[in-house]
């Protein structure tokens, strides 16, 4: 997807890295993490969300998905086992607020599934 996006929009910079270990001083106007963070270990949830907040430029937009349930679990899809973890809605929102972000939108978009997305900005 990054290769395709880069080819179609060479005027923009796209970055693909392991968010758990990646370090940069760069700030970003837009960070999009759809259906990715909740596959990280539970212990990495708070540090990664905090990192995303710190990577966001002033007036930048952060969009990401997470699970409504708290804790860890696995699920099976097409004979593959997938790992999931989440700190839940309240903890995600608290991290955003603690890092100076304003929540613009929060939605359980696949109800009754426990899939949540949020849009936040750094004013």
Bridge partners (DSSP) of residue 91 are none
**What are the DSSP E strand ranges found in 1-123?**
28-33, 56-67, 70-77, 80-87, 102-108, 115-121
Mean pLDDT for all residues in the chain: 95
What is residue 113's predicted lDDT score, i.e. its pLDDT?
86
Here the tokens at position 76 are: 């099976």
What is residue 30's predicted lDDT score, i.e. its pLDDT?
94
Instruction: Report d(CA 32, CA 95) in Å as an integer.
Output: 17
Could you tell me if 95 and 88 are in contact, meaning their C-beta atoms sit under 8 angstroms apart?
no
Instruction: Report d(CA 47, CA 78) in Å as an integer.
Output: 31
pLDDT in tens, 23-32: 999 999 999 9
What is residue 16's predicted lDDT score, i.e. its pLDDT?
87
What is residue 112's predicted lDDT score, i.e. its pLDDT?
87
pLDDT in tens, 60-94: 999 999 999 899 999 898 999 989 999 999 999 99
What is residue 119's predicted lDDT score, i.e. its pLDDT?
98
What is residue 15's predicted lDDT score, i.e. its pLDDT?
83
Instruction: Report d(CA 25, CA 90) in Å as an integer.
Output: 28
CA-closest candidate to residue 104, choices 118, 90, 115, 88? 118
Stated pTM of the model: 0.88
Q: How big is the CA angle at 45 (ends 40 and 47), to the nearest 5 degrees?
A: 120
pLDDT (mean) for 28-45: 94
What is residue 50's predicted lDDT score, i.e. its pLDDT?
98
Q: pLDDT-derived band of residue 49, with 50, 70 and 90 as boundaries?
A: very high
Would you tell me which CATH number, out of the four given (3.40.50.150, 3.30.930.10, 3.30.450.20, 2.60.120.10), belongs to the domain 24-121?
3.40.50.150
What is residue 14's predicted lDDT score, i.e. its pLDDT?
86
């Amino acid at each position: 997807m990054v290769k395709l996006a880069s080819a179609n929009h060479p005027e923009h910079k796209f970055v693909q890295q392991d968010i758990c270990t990646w370090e940069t001083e760069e700030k970003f106007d837009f960070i999009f993490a759809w259906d990715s963070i909740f596959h990280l270990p539970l212990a990495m949830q708070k540090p990664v969300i905090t990192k995303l907040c710190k990577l966001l430029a002033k007036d930048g937009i952060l969009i990401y998905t997470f699970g409504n349930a708290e804790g860890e679990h696995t699920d099976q899809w097409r004979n593959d086992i997938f790992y999931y973890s989440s700190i839940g809605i309240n903890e995600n929102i608290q991290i955003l607020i603690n890092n100076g972000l304003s929540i613009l939108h929060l939605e359980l978009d696949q109800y009754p599934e426990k899939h949540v997305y949020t849009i936040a900005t750094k004013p």
